Amino acid sequence: MVTSVRICVCGDESTGKSSLIASLVKDQFVNNKIQPVLPQITIPPSIGTPENVTTTIVDTSARPQDRTTLRKEIRKCNVILLIYADHYSYERVALFWMPYFRSLGVNVPVVLCANKSDLVGQADTPQVVEEELLPVMAEFREIDSCIRASAREHRNVNEVFFLCQKAVTHPIAPLFDYKEGQLKPACVAALKRIFFLCDKDQDGYLNNEEMREFQSKCFDKPLTDNDLENIKASIAKSLPDSNMGHGVDQKGFLQLNKIYAEKGRHETIWIILRKYHYTDSLSLEEAFLHPNFDVPEYSSAELSPAGYRFFVDLFLLFDKDNDGGLNDEELEALFAPTPGLPASWTESSFPSSTVRNEAGHITLQGWLAQWSMTTFLEPKVTIEYLAYLGFEPATLKDSITSALKITKSRKRRRRPGRVERNVVLCYLIGAPGAGKSSLLDAFLNRPFDGLYRPTIKPRRAVNSVELPGGKQVYMIFEELGELEPAILENQSKLDACDLICYAYDSSDPDSFSHIVDMRQKYAHLDELPSVYTALKADRDKTTQRSELQPDQYTGSLNMNTPLHVSVTWNSISELFVALAETATNPSNGFPKSEEDAPDRTGLYLALGATACAAVAAVMIWRRSTNAA
């Protein structure tokens, strides 16, 4: 947002530059002779300026000997106020001044002022009419606006400098192309996104209530019935084919803003754009898209209840055919106000990374799982898309980051107890051909495909898992592919991981040795909780070519023996529950260095009972002795 405006006042000698500045400062015409060039004047926001900016006004001389100073000031300014007062100085606008500004290579707006308008009608000053101004504006697009003024009669003096401020704070150039008579593409794109966000029911129209909400948000004042009817009438007049029966459609909304631009009310468009966090370059504010959000070490990011509620509502709103899934057209409509699908979604072949229905469309379960995974892996991407899609915090004090929450640190994983996480990451490690890809397919409820396809790059799948007791967590299951060694050597990748699932083909004698080799090569894997799984249990079990058989190997670590499962069995879901349960109770997934200490509770209770009985017997003997 612009906080200061520097105005360079230019023009031929005797056009009244200094008188106009003096008339602004004194709020009246100064009859006394004033110096040819006034010193620089700075006007704070509180003194008669409609814009909340500090304004610096620099007077200049047109004399050839002052050309160096003039050139210096023009290059320092934000806007040029070019003044003329008679036919000669008017002709000089196109013949000298505008070409001169271009020769300096400056790219600032120019406000053209016809001063001494009180002299219009006298013989030596021809009347300045629109037919004279329009050709100049058509030839020089730098000219932002034109105005007539009179320093002597103090007419339009404040308005002249307000136009200069507005040319900087609310520039027309990014919004409207006068030559084409159309809003510029970047402006159209921004307004389309704003229309999308205002169309709460996504029916393609802004109804009366949505128009009132829009008015209140942007201009902090209510929209009366008369005002609403006038707006509709203006749109209908310029768009005869428009139908206002259902409300203002996107075409009508764009036309309304075009009317504002054509009438010189581009500050109205800027108020709308800035209320929706657009910068002067018509991009969204960096602080809005990427607010400060840091995830501490050993913690993770998750969607808060408000974040989940927002994505649920978004899904239901765009599932137009109510089939429980978002098809390609519905997804395209949903992501219309964004740059498109997140890059990581495209890389993971979305929506194949999550739950889909029989038609191949992402379900609500898969939609929430996908955003849970994105928030876990790339929280700043989720925040960016929340901004694009119009998430609104519950209160003005809250920021967009209220849609997310930070979990407690889980650094001490060996300590018994459940970690406070609703999203967990499990790496799947095993030999090629062990059945890892089929396991991921089963995790997403897809039918078994016996065709072997080697996994080259990492593949992720995410789904919800219901734990014993009814709690639901989202588990990200990642097959590492050929990048397995690189990922296992990356400590930051391992720190993010909640569990390792070691999987082998129980029907392949060479499969288990891969796990043994990996654990020997990467000793630091002992720092992560793990579960061992024997896949393809529907086939004949074979002896593994390994120093220890899988049951002996896990027994030597004092861990549970491998779970024998097959993706062709209905019970495969029990494996996913076991994995999620271990990820949320990490102490259960660590190898023990020695056997658990024997439980001596019963022995202690027996000894205590014996001691109590002995004490009681002694007390009874003493009482009987005393009585005798």
**Does the pLDDT of residue 408 top 80, yes or no?**
yes
Local confidence band at 63 (pLDDT 50, 70, 90 cut-offs): very high
| Radius of gyration from C-alpha coordinates of the chain | 38
**Does the pLDDT of residue 614 top 80, yes or no?**
no
pLDDT of residue 131: 62
- Number of CB atoms found within 10 A of residue 363's CB: 20
**Coil, strand or helix: which one is 114?**
strand
Segment 370-396 shows an average pLDDT of 94
pLDDT of residue 620: 37
Over residues 554-591, the pLDDT tens digits come to: 998 888 899 999 999 888 999 999 999 999 999 888 87
pLDDT of residue 1: 62
Measured distance CA(499)–CA(477) in Å, rounded: 10
Segment 251-263 shows an average pLDDT of 91
Local confidence band at 48 (pLDDT 50, 70, 90 cut-offs): very low
pLDDT of residue 51: 59
**Domains (range + CATH), the chain:** 4-170 (3.40.50.300), 182-283 (1.10.238.10), 296-406 (1.10.238.10), 423-588 (3.40.50.300)
Lowest mean pLDDT among 365-374, 403-412, 585-594: 585-594
Over residues 492-531, the pLDDT tens digits come to: 899 889 999 999 999 999 999 999 999 999 988 988 999 9
Over residues 16-31, the pLDDT tens digits come to: 899 999 988 887 777 6
Over residues 411-446, the pLDDT tens digits come to: 777 777 788 899 999 999 999 999 999 999 999 988
pLDDT of residue 116: 83
- Write the secondary structure of 35-104 as one string of H (helix), E (strand) and C (coil): CCCCCCEEECCCCCCCCCCEEEEEECCCCHHHHHHHHHHHHHCCEEEEEECCHHHHHHHHHHHHHHHHHC
- Burial class of 121 by CB neighbour count within 10 A (0 to 12, 13 to 18, 19+): exposed
Segment 392-406 shows an average pLDDT of 90
Segment 202-214 shows an average pLDDT of 93
pLDDT of residue 609: 38
Pairing of strands 79-84, 4-11: parallel
pLDDT of residue 613: 41
Local confidence band at 482 (pLDDT 50, 70, 90 cut-offs): confident
Compute φ and ψ for 369, nearest 5 degrees.
-65, -40
pLDDT of residue 611: 39
Lowest mean pLDDT among 80-94, 396-410, 607-621: 607-621
Compute φ and ψ for 316, nearest 5 degrees.
-65, -35
**Does the pLDDT of residue 4 top 70, yes or no?**
yes
pLDDT of residue 594: 53
pLDDT of residue 146: 85
**Does the pLDDT of residue 291 top 90, yes or no?**
yes
Over residues 149-203, the pLDDT tens digits come to: 888 888 889 999 988 998 888 888 889 887 788 999 999 999 999 999 999 999 9
pLDDT of residue 465: 95
**Does the pLDDT of residue 389 top 80, yes or no?**
yes
Average pLDDT taken over every residue of the chain: 86
**Does the pLDDT of residue 352 top 70, yes or no?**
yes
**Does the pLDDT of residue 600 top 90, yes or no?**
no
Measured distance CA(220)–CA(213) in Å, rounded: 10
Omega of the bond prior to 351 within 30 degrees of 0, cis? yes
Under 8 Å CB-to-CB from 580, ≥6 apart: which residues?
424, 465, 467, 473, 475
**Does the pLDDT of residue 602 top 50, yes or no?**
no
Tokens matching residue 70: 């003039």
The rounded percent of the chain whose pLDDT value lies above 70 is 89
Measured distance CA(61)–CA(283) in Å, rounded: 39
Compute φ and ψ for 194, nearest 5 degrees.
-65, -40
Measured distance CA(236)–CA(248) in Å, rounded: 10
Q: How far is CA 53 from the centre of its chain?
A: 29
Measured distance CA(499)–CA(424) in Å, rounded: 8
